[in-house]
Chains A and B, each alone.
Chain A
């Protein structure tokens, strides 16, 4: 006999019948939960990542941008063309614009029709008027300018300004231009002109400081091929910018959200897997007789597999389809919850998440349901005569091994890193072991309840202690879910408020940067006149740390190392003759007044640790126009949350003199005096004010949305937990039916039995709540003390609320799930045994 269409038909018939009898409900429900959670998260991350990438392209103005101090070799442009890429050239240079007696240094950007390749320019008709996106560029003789230039030149829209020998009419206010202005002109107000006006203005001479910006756009693979071709040929003066570097600042929050959502979905998959394993075991055991009869009628082991495996496949298919459809719907909820953080338009859902959903379904079935179903093959035919004969129990290593392999595979699909997968699995195993021991302790401790309760309650509580492994796994499942939910609520509600209340009343709430050197005295006077108590004005020079003891930074520390990420970007460097007030020297010594001008540097201790920099090491910094190498003479610890200007690197006065500097400070301004800011901006148009109150508000909003989204996904974890509860209930149902019938025959009333069930599950829920409270308390303590350095107080409400919520939720679910135990007449139950 070979597996053929007859087997499939028969398998289909058995499946239909089992479905009608409710045998497969738990298996299918758990499978749907797993697939839904994974598909929803896959849809979400897939669409989000594509949206972020295209948004970044819009910010950049293309998929790739190359900045060069000279025009590019034409072969480079031809190579781009041969890859099918579009390209556009833009000139950026600083120049003085004039109107009447007013002169102003501006950042000129000369563009052609094809600019930008991605996204669009944003303009307004009046300063601070309504913004709109446009495909056009300024016509010849026209100019679009940043709003802050108008008051500086004392002109209005429609009036003219002079650039070199040209007179240009100010047509629009420029509010955003993709790609930025190149590093020479980023601080000056931006002026956009037509490329054709450059020669006529006659302002570019040999030696002029011009940045040539080349934008490229096209198919992603072509862009990557071109980038690969280009990179080895770049010179030090070239700068290549990829879309990934241009991600918006909420990107980090969304990245984290993606990770948490992915993790939550994996936990849901794991719990669903446990439910599937329990459901499959019951399914298998209830089919021992069927398998024995089939063996008796001549079915070989392969026939048995040919009959039962297609049932699993069918189940996988149905669960996959339903789960994918539900996941598709659920992702809309996620996008809705995170709508304020996301781009307004998103790419349409792709096919990848659908495949991912099916893959998850099949993997979970294979990992958790296959071993028990394979056992059917081993059922002895003799069971038809001797019912007590069952196949050998499965070996523990097989069951757990296959399940762990399935989870590892899914996790690896999600993380893409074998190391990370192994460490997460290892960490999870240790954590589960510890938590399991804690749960066992709780279970043991609860045995004290045995005394002083009535017979019904004792019966219920006994049920819990009689199957300790099952009870522990359920306490763990629900406990972890409740813990995650409680932690998220804590982070959202308590952490930020605690942090804010622990700040001093008058902690600075504004930073000001870009105070020009000429304006330092006037700015100080402005502050004093208004009684604004600010910190020192610190000079600030932009520079990059290039080498440590001659070794290139990117060889010493991976650019992917998040903790060291800051030093890969441009740093704010400063000089000072004295150690700033909230800094403490931890190694070396501060320089003496006579040592000014020596090329030495003081390094913040945290960054020194990450870079493995010690006293005496030589750090080389590069600037737009040169570089210096300085010896490390001291390490400082910095109190970052003082909200005063703080720096990774401080030099003695004089060292940074060759490089252009601006000044920065911070100060506290109460809400009612915020009007002073407008006056400050009017008097010092170049300065940029950063309002921390507004940033805090934004952080709070982002946090609220991200945590809500994670909680949304945790609902699936909770559902999967209930699937485990239901599967466990099913597994013990026959036994419960029998015991219930016996107890009732012996005179127990229905209400006594029901009270027992309630006691059993309410205690289970309460113990899960205690575990959750302990876990949440511990993690919150570590978060507050170690990560945020905040004072911690025990969160007493957790200890009352979580056990109560657990008892009510799980008590109700268990009470409902066991209702059948008292519905059938004892006679029927006992006759069927």
Chain B
């Protein structure tokens, strides 16, 4: 991996830009975004609505490709991987927590957490998943379907699922955006606790300044450009 940045940089963006075609011409969403994130760091990407936060998250996690610049994730250049290659990398190194939870409605809480383990062919998926659910306080809800759970409970299932594969990087997109303040702060506690326990790199997108303040570093976006990057 001689031409990769040093592995201590778990994520790095070099001059990343994203343009989309619209009926009125090209629209620039991100431009010249450059930074490195080291393993174990917790980083908040902040900015107003439309500043490009979620687009950046999608690019960093390999859900989409930039139109300019290069992105490295866990030592691999995302630009060089095809969609299936990026999926493999996500499966092995990345966890996600979304604002809208994104649980599979047709699977129980336990089955949802088992899913990434099963996709990776891990034999003890059931056992590991139930331990994780116990860790997030849902040991009595294993066989409940998402629609039978409250919003906070659903997000806890999602967090358990995100940590199931002990990911190197956890991406969280407005993880408490759909929750009331009290539930939200409990979820945040849980997220940071697990993050500390597993030594995961946490990259979260939020416009909640208080939540961002809990991270070691804040990257502020405005109009698709990095306007501040401070610890």
Q: Which residues of A contact B (CB under 8 A)?
A: 1, 4, 6, 9-10, 13-14, 17-18, 21, 289-290, 292-303, 380-382, 384-386
Contacts and interface: CB of A to CB of B under 8 A. Distances in A.
B83 interface: yes
Nearest to B62: A381
B119 A381 contact: no
Contacts of A18: 106
Nearest to A296: B96
Contact of B57 (A21, A293, A385): A385
B84 A301 contact: yes
A390 to B, nearest CB: 15
A382 B90 contact: no
A382 B59 CA distance: 9
Nearest to A16: B106
Given A1-B119, A1-B121, A382 B104 contact: no
Contacts of B103: 293
B128 interface: no
A383 to B, nearest CB: 9
Contact of A382 (B58, B102, B118): B58
Contacts of B119: 1, 6, 294, 297-299, 303
A6 B96 CA distance: 22
Contacts of B211: none
22 contacts: A4-B121, A13-B106, A17-B106, A18-B106, A289-B102, A290-B104, A296-B63, A296-B90, A296-B96, A297-B90, A297-B96, A297-B115, A298-B89, A298-B94, A298-B120, A300-B83, A300-B84, A300-B87, A301-B83, A302-B84, A384-B63, A385-B57
A1 B91 contact: yes
Contacts of A384: 63, 96, 98, 102
Contacts of A289: 102
A350 to B, nearest CB: 41
B63 A381 contact: yes
Nearest to A21: B106
A1 B107 contact: no
A293 B104 contact: yes
A300 B121 contact: no
Contacts of A9: 118
B219 interface: no
B92 A298 contact: yes
Nearest to B55: A385
B104 A6 contact: no
B98 A14 contact: no
A298 B90 contact: yes
Given A14-B107, A289-B102, A382 B63 contact: yes
Interface of B: 54, 57-58, 62-64, 83-84, 86-92, 94, 96, 98, 102-104, 106-107, 111, 115-116, 118-121, 161, 165, 173
By secondary structure, the A interface counts as: helix
Contacts of B115: 10, 294, 297
Contacts of A303: 87, 119
A302 B86 CA distance: 14
Contact of B120 (A1, A296, A381): A1
A13 B62 CA distance: 28
Contact of A299 (B87, B94, B107): B87
A1 B118 CA distance: 10
Q: 5 shortest A-B CB distances, which residue pairs?
A: A298-B91, A17-B106, A300-B84, A382-B63, A297-B116
A300 B92 CA distance: 12
Nearest to A15: B106
Contacts of B64: 380-382
Contacts of A302: 84
Nearest to B96: A296
A385 B91 contact: no
B86 to A, nearest CB: 8
Contacts of A301: 83-84
A6 B63 contact: no
Given A1-B119, A381-B63, A385-B57, A293 B87 contact: no
Contacts of B106: 13-14, 17-18, 21, 290
Nearest to A293: B102
Contacts of A4: 121
A298 B88 contact: yes
A308 to B, nearest CB: 12
Nearest to B118: A6
Contacts of B111: 13
Contact of B87 (A6, A10, A381, A385): A381
A149 to B, nearest CB: 82
Nearest to B57: A385
B167 to A, nearest CB: 10
Contacts of B89: 298
Contacts of B90: 296-298, 381
B88 A1 contact: yes
Candidate in A21, A292, A294, A385 with the most chain B CB atoms within 10 angstroms: A385
Contacts of B161: 297
A614 B98 CA distance: 86
A391 B92 CA distance: 25
A4 B121 CA distance: 9
Given A298-B92, A385-B54, 20 more contacts: A1-B88, A1-B121, A13-B111, A17-B106, A290-B106, A292-B102, A293-B103, A295-B87, A297-B91, A298-B91, A300-B84, A300-B88, A301-B83, A303-B119, A381-B63, A381-B83, A382-B58, A384-B96, A384-B98, A386-B54
A290 B119 CA distance: 14
Contacts of B102: 289, 292-293, 296, 384
Contacts of B104: 14, 290, 293
A531 B173 CA distance: 106
A275 B154 CA distance: 35
A303 B118 CA distance: 11
A773 to B, nearest CB: 46
Contacts of A381: 62-64, 83, 86-87, 90
B46 to A, nearest CB: 17
Nearest to B164: A297
A9 B90 CA distance: 22
A557 B225 CA distance: 85
Nearest to A301: B84
A10 B118 contact: yes
A297 B96 CA distance: 8
B55 to A, nearest CB: 8
Contacts of A293: 102-104
B58 A385 contact: yes
Contacts of B86: 381
Contacts of B62: 381
Contacts of B58: 382, 385-386
Contacts of B83: 300-301, 381
Contacts of A290: 104, 106
Contacts of B92: 298
B160 to A, nearest CB: 13
